Amino acid sequence: MAQHESLECTLYPRPERRGFTVGSIIFNSQSVEAEDIRDQMEYGGTRLNFNAELAGARINIQVDIGFGDAITPEAVEAVFPTMLELPAPHLRVYPAETVIAEKLEAMVRLGIANSRMKDFYDIWTIARIFNFDGATLQTAIQRTFDRRNTSIPIETPLALTEEFATDSQKLKQWKAFLNRTGLTVEEDLSGVTAFIARFVLPPLQALTHGIPFNDTWSAGRSWRGV
């Protein structure tokens, strides 16, 4: 989740609408609703739902605020691109290692009940774009699993098996995810999970055996020893 660092904007009160504006966007402060999320974990979070208005069009916005995540190695600064010719915001965001670790933990914990197809797409995409230091990724996995009280699996996680990837319900969920998002993936679900397994199993299995993992991941390819 992104952490706000230094985004400058001017707020203009609009008492007649019980909201405020940022540029041309009107945020309706009376529409804010908050609910608890991640109830199954020892540490929680809050989900905010509210709406805004831009040129007469209503926009529904959801913001998830999480607490207590084990960020490894540390938050990094990212420049978010803008659609308009305005200064791009600089935000502190989770490093790729923590993103991978959190999505992997969910795959292990949820098993066949996992319907979070976006997690599979995200890991598949991130591992094709970025290089990874094996030791850092291994540490991120260990810290995230410890923080969420999830045991490091001895066997291959069900979510990364052919049984999962060929399950009729999972195939429907994967197809629905792609149709809903308009994303294009060159491989079927079996190919995606096989690629993810090739990426995450080596550091995961090293943790199972209590040994360090010092290989280097070349984006979209494979682990190589150093």
List Cβ neighbours of 195 (8 Å cut-off, separation of 6 or more). 124, 127, 187
Mean pLDDT of the chain: 87
Kindly report, residue by residue over 4-52, the tens digit of the pLDDT.
Answer: 333 333 444 444 445 555 557 888 889 999 998 765 555 578 899 999 9
Over residues 140-162, the mean pLDDT reads 96
- Domain boundaries of the chain, sorted by first residue: 3-68, 96-224
pLDDT at 146 over 80: yes
- Is residue 190 within 8 Å of 165, Cβ to Cβ? yes
Beta bridge partners of 36: 46
Over residues 129-151, the mean pLDDT reads 96
pTM: 0.80
Kindly report, residue by residue over 94-116, the tens digit of the pLDDT.
Answer: 999 999 999 999 999 999 999 99
